[in-house]
Structure 1
């Protein structure tokens, strides 16, 4: 037994505020540092990778822009050759069957040299007639030395340059063909201009990167539309391997590379820029080590600070507890201010607060008691101060005569309508507060409409259409006015133009009367109407704006309570609405046999 008692004492000693603060702060520190380390590592890793991708993307965009500039330069130059007046003249003669003599063809040499001087990338220019005879250079080679697919590509371009790619007969050259259309012969084909370009013309990387790509860590590859490498600072097999792969990363041998691809809109060629994944994430390992060291240092420092803080907090509290125990043994006594001097302001304030509590305990009890008495008297007076009907009616009557004397007839009639409205709500002339006639209910709705007419002026038009023989039918009190209020609030007021509200009382079936409230407001679509019906029926607890549906829900419950026998006609409210047309809310009531009184 003594052993268990010792364990209990040890457990109580462990479960102290100091230990709880120490353990709680330590666990919090571990969670915070772990989360912060993981979060920082993840975010910075992503930033480093994105930075590398952004760098290689910008490099690829710049290289692609330079490539397009080179291609457009050749395109512009060949356009000038194709539209040169002398070239056009020779080709037109060839089309007309007049062969060019040696001197005329010799003149093309000077012309070609002049144009080739504008670009260092052009290796040679060749001019052919439309029937495959070469005019320049001066030999009798035909155009058949160029593949038919290349000629077809040039014909498809209809005068624009066709970039074929690597010349099949000269792998060190790039081939481009432009069909020449005769300007003075309705732009009919007159021949072909063949351009041979040096592959080095398209070099877009630094010389040191070309000699040793490992220095920069980046590789660049340019291929034609058929996937044949044109320029690359990697071996041919590696280039073909890259072109056969897709995705943001490719593998060359055993090394994974980030790949950024650009497409030349001018020639349809593909530019691929590669960077080793390790180069893009080389700073992550350093970051990981820095985070581990930071977490370790922060953990040690936090543990020491937590131990010191827990001691500083609990030691003065223990002293205050001993003082309070001594006060408890002798009753609720004040703790002398000079007995315990605590180092922290908060503990001193706690001591002072305890003394104030003991000093003013009886005063607080008395204040609470007096507040309870005052609250009870206030509630009693609030109940007694409910609106006195006679006082209210006399006050409204005084307002009415005052407005009549000032010739404010419209406001006076509004006061009369308000007086009638309050009389109807507060009491009943017949002494029955629950049932009235349809006539009374319609008059109450009419007074409400007059008051709303005062506010809305020309925006509101209303009409009451009721069969005379139905005016004495009994109906629950305040059953029509909430529907009229809802029609004005959600129907007329939602319109920019004037709106109307119609109250119609009719009988289409023996023993039943139908009461309908019709407005020409914005109406509702099927989904909105379904949700409104669910709220009225209490199927859903979905909140509604401005209490919409609350009054109608009250009317629905009362109708189902008083008219349970109208189930075959659709018990309660029946709502029909169409968007931009309006809403009709109707309900059926039973007509009691003649001679029955209101019940």
Structure 2
């Protein structure tokens, strides 16, 4: 019961007006969703793009200030290692001369005087070529101070400044180093300069002033990946290692300086970048809801106007269930509805006329069936007579004549049967019919008639229209062998073609054949599209040709080849699928 109730409710809903209304609402909903999603996506993308450009500009400015500090530090260390007193002192050291305490003290004063040009410098350290410290005065050598790997890197740079990074001895300082190249000694190595720089000095780059908002975080890494400056909390470090940035809730923008090879990274929460999107989202939802209500009312009104005339016509058509179709009165509506009503009225008139015609034809058909039943008496009388004759000959031991009578009976039975089930037969049945026909013809022609049938076993099951081949055999016997003096042979063969999808059927005789004129006349009759008898044939070749086209298509036809005195060959192709 619940199922039937729901089904009835659904049937009431399944009206043209409701379908039009549903389609309108569905399309409008899709349009509103599409426009809303696209608008939201575009605005969000623009906000993200503008924020990213602003962050990129901030990074560029920060990198510029870092490069400026780096250049200042590079220039300062270059001035120190090329100072005349520093050069003379280290040349004396290379030459093996002893440096007095006073010389060391003056060297310290000269080097420390450069500290006033750079606020971030904590101290300077000088080392000899054999890594011994000149000042400050203690026993720590250069290997202990920075390690062998950094010494090799300093040598490799041949006088260029090397950023070592965080001081191995104190995390609050950065260390830079430079090899002292002696200008008066073929620019050979004279010693090493180490400079300690306060880590707080790089905060003067203004990262705090250049924040995009209060939730942005900055990280500066040197070429080796060591931290120079960071305001990034530890819990956000993983954001830097996510391959697809879309998978996080943060925008990560980074830039590497071509001069310092330092990388500046700014991490910003996405929600801070698209705060205005929430207002836009609410506006889209509100406008979409308002538009949906207006469009729903419009769709309901429009669907009612469109379907009202159709509903009236439907009610008139329902009146035809009692057996009488009524004409619909004109309804003032659209052109299409008027044409529909006019067509319906014309259809009603035609149907009423056809009903009368069918009634009259049924009367005629009933009379024809009665006559057909009466006409069936003659074939049955013929079959019964032949059957009685057959058994009479068997009793008299006239087996040859009895066989002849039996073949005649089977020929009549095969030919006269007209039921729909017997319209199509297998090739095996058609061949058996041909065999019986030839046996009957041998009674007339005797040993003059010879026939050969060559059909592969796997083709015997193919179905063809009844009497498609036998008339061709009959034509070959009567018009080919009948007019010939001496023994005549009729050959029936079948072969596969077209990759096994088609069957080529050939009926050939070695009779008198036809000259070109006779052959031309015969072909013209076959292509005339009219069914008439070919002179002297039992079943017309034109009939066979026409049936071939009706059953298998207009492109099918009988192909006839004949030469006077040599015989005639008739071929045609049919699909094996029947």
TM-score normalised by structure 1 residue count: 0.45
**Radius of gyration: which is bigger?**
2
